A = this chain, B = another copy of it.
């Protein structure tokens, strides 16, 4: 792996994540692939914890994805533990790969004292190499677990990440204050057709499993599913939301309950923050780009146009070069094949409207646009002028750093 320096878009520091009662975390250097760094993360949850998950839509998913789907089905959404290893994704590893995930879960289950299906597992790293699960199984009993080790857990799941990613919020749920903590990893192979590579969110709220699942899918659409780094959907994308129910609120079973309004908003804040941190750690990223699309036929069309702009190598390289080549945005809109009124299409770049009547707006301020492009936060808005659909997508620029990191990852 190429030695990487801290992303220039990194937050100043890791936020202070408060304990969530009964959620205990720890890491250990098991030597799965990396030397001299923690590469196995172990998290346990109190009895009564429920979990909801969304996973990659890839049709060549990794063995941990298959295990998690099976486990969630078997347990009905109970969870007592999570084991994550970094350095090896356990993808395209055949029956032996599934067995490696199962053995990892069984080892954790023995330590916790629960059925294996109450244990979720994730793996991230190189594809196609057998996972030396014996190292994980052998290391798990030595992991020191504590409620105050969220940052260590965030570090333990990193691969090419240049900073650990965490977010936290509190919400009012029926008069009770509940906490939401989340950690995530991911910096390449990011086009969520569900999520970033790995993200784990836990709360002490008491929410029924079916409601938790509905809320997770809804919020995911506007957070992890609204980011892209390089259009490459991973085989391992996993997002899990755990609810321990220890906060003391009256349990909520209906996802549409008005009591959940603040919880939903704060969950979106936490998940959106984590998702944007993944973009800020995009491989080689020098600029953080927000793409807002309005006037589309519907939300899905707006999202597709936003993704097409955000994934265009020509748009991303122009921004990397601080080049006011807004015509590439118009070209990207066109190749989305979504309905647009080309004569009424409006492109706004850095807050400045650049177009009118299907052509450039005479007298637009190119110097102001150039100044905007020299900053780290780039804003693109397009109005397709055909409907009311809106969506926001976040991405980063495409730089020499991306090439350097990815042309020499496995070796």
Contacts and interface: CB of A to CB of B under 8 A. Distances in A.
Interface of A: 56-61, 89, 91-97, 126-130, 188-189, 191, 193, 230-235, 311-314, 317-318, 320-321, 323-328, 330-340, 342-343, 345, 355, 357-360, 398-400, 402-404, 406-411
B408 A323 contact: yes
Q: When A and B form their complex, which 3 residue pairs have the shortest distance between CB atoms, in order from nearest?
A: A127-B327, A321-B407, A60-B334
The count of identical subunits is: 2
B58 A235 contact: no
Nearest to A342: B60
A399 to B, nearest CB: 6
Contacts of A188: 314
A353 to B, nearest CB: 14
A407 B91 contact: no
Contact of A342 (B59, B345, B355): B59
Given A59-B340, A337-B59, A407 B331 contact: no
Nearest to A341: B59
Given A318-B409, A360-B129, A408-B323, A333 B403 contact: no
Looking at A189, A231, A343, A403, the one whose CB has the most chain B CB atoms below 10 A away is A403
B408 A321 contact: yes
Given A60-B331, A330-B127, A337-B59, A407 B92 contact: no
A392 to B, nearest CB: 21
Contact of A323 (B317, B360, B409): B409
Contacts of A343: 94
B334 A407 contact: no
Contacts of A130: 359-360
Nearest to A322: B407
Contacts of A318: 406-407, 409-410
A96 B359 contact: yes
29 contacts: A57-B337, A59-B337, A59-B339, A60-B333, A89-B327, A91-B330, A92-B342, A92-B355, A93-B360, A96-B359, A128-B360, A189-B331, A230-B313, A230-B314, A231-B231, A232-B314, A234-B331, A235-B334, A314-B406, A317-B402, A317-B403, A318-B406, A318-B407, A318-B409, A321-B409, A327-B410, A399-B407, A400-B403, A400-B404
B126 A317 contact: no
A399 B96 CA distance: 36
Given A94-B357, A314-B232, A345-B60, A403 B399 contact: yes
Contact of A331 (B232, B324, B339): B232
A162 B396 CA distance: 29
Contacts of A313: 230-232, 313, 398, 402, 406
A387 B36 CA distance: 47
Nearest to A407: B321
Contact of A235 (B129, B323, B330): B330
Contacts of A345: 60
Contacts of A233: 331, 334-335
Given A235-B331, A325-B409, A59 B128 contact: no
B60 A330 contact: yes
A138 to B, nearest CB: 23
B59 A333 contact: yes
A325 B188 CA distance: 15
Looking at A95, A314, A360, the one whose CB has the most chain B CB atoms below 10 A away is A314
A160 to B, nearest CB: 11
Contacts of A330: 60, 91-92, 127-128, 235
